[in-house]
Structure 1
Amino acid sequence: MDNGGFRAMLLSISNQLDGETLSNLKFLCKEDIGKKKLEKINKGIELFECLIDRAEIGPDNTELLRSLLTRVGQTALIQIIDDYERGSTANAYGLDAREREKIDLATEVIAEQVGRNWKKVGRKLGLNDTKLDSIEDKHSRDLEEQVRDLIREWMKIQRENARVEILIKALRDCRQNYTADLVVKKLQDEGL
């Protein structure tokens, strides 16, 4: 993901933090950053820069930031992160338009069909349990959105190497052959 967009997203969050919320965030980060350094921080963006310097957060790693905002009761600000990530995946990491279209069609079929076994598919795609749990928490009441987010996260990892064939293989490895067959059929029907 682009670094400029990431910093713009952090600045947007920082601008919406009041003094009490910033104090609470600093308290939660005291072990990661250290008390002396935290005393000098007066803005959220300064705190975020420290976390970037320590590789705790980055353009492809927003999990700690999400967790911190949740813990201080600022879940509404997580929408800013979601918007940033949606915009960053829109460029599909160098995928050609045809492959992106294939993955988008596959995503719709998979989201409708996979159901509660989506985490098993996610593991086959290489996502760790922490990431899968985060997806589940983010969309706790929407199974289809969990699956869509799973595929977005997989695309972040794969970048230009993301291929619909990898999705189909993961489905087959998880004995989701019916869903894999539906994906293949949908792609054939669309001439892809």
Structure 2
Amino acid sequence: MDARQLNAVLLDISNQLSSDNLDKLKFLVRNEIGKQKLEKITTGHGLFEILTQRRFLEPDKTEFLSDLLQQIGRPDLSDRLTGSGSPPGPPDDGLDETERAKLSIATEVIAESLGKNWRKLGRKLQVSDVRLDSISTRHSTDLEETAVELLKEWRRSKGAEARTEELIRALRDCQLNLTADRVEEKLTDKLYQ
């Protein structure tokens, strides 16, 4: 990848790092960078800029950062850096058109209704706390967008096994019956007209 592509990937990775992730990265590089410089760093891209200046990170030399990301428990970001992870965006999930349409309708209704219960639903759908923290960091002020990102992450993890029925069951398990009812109603209205 060229320098511009690397910078775009690094910015994406920086946006997905929680403050705890950043603290762990800073701890791991304290000998290479120095404590005084590290104290001034408050973002992932700030850290990446220093790693680039010190030649630990270049377009054709990403192994150092990739290893660090693995060490802090973020293999997803390491894969993104090395190019083996899928880029952000709609998943290539292998679903048939009907199920994809049902999931889109469910996502729309849930995003409108979920509010502050998004994390509870995420745990019920078995989305990892690391992923939930990443979503929260990227969308800290927009609950609707947070819910959309949560459901994208769930669909990405489930792939072709993602089913609307599982979403509805998870909503009911979280005592979000009104939202589950709204999803079922909207599905009936849209798909069986």
Aligned partners of 2:141 and 2:9: how far apart in 1? Answer: 27
CA-atom RMSD in angstroms: 3.9
Flag as ranges the 4+ runs of structure 1 deviating above 3 A. 8-11, 14-17, 28-32, 38-42, 49-55, 63-66
| Consecutive unaligned residues in structure 1, runs of 5 or more | 1-7, 18-24, 67-82
2:59 paired with 1:56: no
**Could you tell me which residue of structure 1 aligns to residue 87 of structure 2?**
84
Q: What code does the residue aligned with 1:85 have?
A: P
| Consecutive unaligned residues in structure 2, runs of 5 or more | 11-21, 33-50
Q: CA offsets, 1:113-137, max 9 Å, x none?
A: 1110110000000012221121111
**Could you tell me which residue of structure 2 aligns to residue 129 of structure 1?**
129
2:61 paired with 1:46: yes
Q: CA offsets, 1:33-67, max 9 Å, x none?
A: x96xx8774514412x445467729xx8128979x
Aligned partners of 2:77 and 2:68: how far apart in 1? Answer: 13
- Normalised by the length of structure 1, the TM-score is 0.65
- What is the identity percentage for the equivalent residue pairs of Structure 1 and Structure 2? 40
Q: CA offsets, 1:58-106, max 9 Å, x none?
A: xx8128979xxxxxxxxxxxxxxxx9311xx342x11111111110100
**Could you tell me which residue of structure 1 aligns to residue 42 of structure 2?**
none
Contact 1:11 1:45 in 2 (8 A): no
- Normalised by the length of structure 2, the TM-score is 0.65
Aligned partners of 2:99 and 2:160: how far apart in 1? Answer: 10
Contact 1:124 1:170 in 2 (8 A): yes
Instruction: Give the 3 Å change call, closer, same or farther, for CA 114–11 of structure 1 in structure 2.
Output: same
Q: What code does the residue aligned with 1:132 have?
A: L
